[in-house]
Amino acid sequence: MYTESRLLLLEQMPKHSICAEIGVWKGDFSDLIIRYTTPAELHLIDPWVFTTAYGRRWYGGKKAQSQADMDAIHDEVQFRFHEAPAVRIHRELSAVAADRFPDWFFDWIYIDGNHYYEFVKQDLERYLPKIKPGGIIAGDDFEWTCEELAGMLPIKTAVDEFVANHGLPLTLIGES
Ligand SMILES: C[S@@+](CC[C@H](N)C(=O)[O-])C[C@H]1O[C@@H](n2cnc3c(N)ncnc32)[C@H](O)[C@@H]1O
């Protein structure tokens, strides 16, 4: 189910670290983070809110059909990781959850929440101070777009601006 590039990414992430996944869905990638990196702390951040405001996303009709579906997915994730001592679940928008963490807290984070430009930009800016010096902000779907965006690449645009504005290096692994 996961592309080779996402597994290559996990192989390169630090082991026994403090990390976060923004946008968890059913926790399949969270499970891989645990298996590949045995984190000391893995913070799973997702509001599990059903909304059609951003087109037919997984959480807005493409997969989940209602808030009850999202509640059920959240409950499954809670059960799935209830015996995983490293996992902390934050049922919140990523922008809200950011305030919970001190600066220089995470070794690395993985951003896979709302894929629209404003949200990607917000996640990048809000979480940058939360990353330790030398840490990593990772993600996927770099060249993601959808029909209503008419060829625009919101993630690529937000990331390119972010690395340019902050003078940060960008590494692409495999296909996005
Ligand atoms: C593509 S899915 C994540 C898939 C997951 N990372 C994986 O690889 O299995 C996107 C998730 O982002 C969540 N999401 C949407 N907006 C969000 C936000 N503002 N903050 C955090 N999560 C958000 C949705 O509820 C959904 O579960």
The CATH architecture assigned to 4-166 reads: 3-Layer(aba) Sandwich (3.40)
User: Residue 1: what pLDDT?
Assistant: 61
Residues 6 or more apart whose Cβ sits within 8 Å of residue 164: none
User: Residue 106: what pLDDT?
Assistant: 98
Please answer whether residues 22 and 98 qualify as being in contact, where contact means their C-beta atoms are separated by less than 8 angstroms.
no
CA–centroid distance, 159 to ligand 1, in Å, is 17
Q: Where are the domains of the chain?
A: 4-166
Which of 19, 34, 58 for mutating ligand 1's site (highest number of atoms within 8 Å of CB)?
58
**Interval 90-127: pLDDT, tens:** 999 999 999 999 999 999 999 999 999 999 999 999 99
Using a 6 Å cutoff on CB, does residue 46 contact ligand 1?
Answer: yes
* CA distances (Å), origin 69, targets 63, 80, 92, 151: 9, 16, 17, 30
Smallest CA separation from ligand 1 atom 16, residue: 114
Please give the order of strands across the beta sheet that includes 41-45: 87-90, 41-45, 18-22, 106-111, 131-139
Using a 6 Å cutoff on CB, does residue 124 contact ligand 1?
Answer: no
- Four-CA torsion 130, 121, 49, 152, nearest 10 degrees: -150
Using a 6 Å cutoff on CB, does residue 33 contact ligand 1?
Answer: no
**Interval 9-46: pLDDT, tens:** 999 999 999 999 999 999 999 999 999 999 999 999 99
Residue 66 has pLDDT above 90, yes or no: yes
Confidence category of residue 56, pLDDT binned at 50, 70, 90: confident
- Report DSSP state, residue 128: G
User: Residue 174: what pLDDT?
Assistant: 79
User: Residue 176: what pLDDT?
Assistant: 43
Overall average pLDDT of the 128-154 stretch: 94
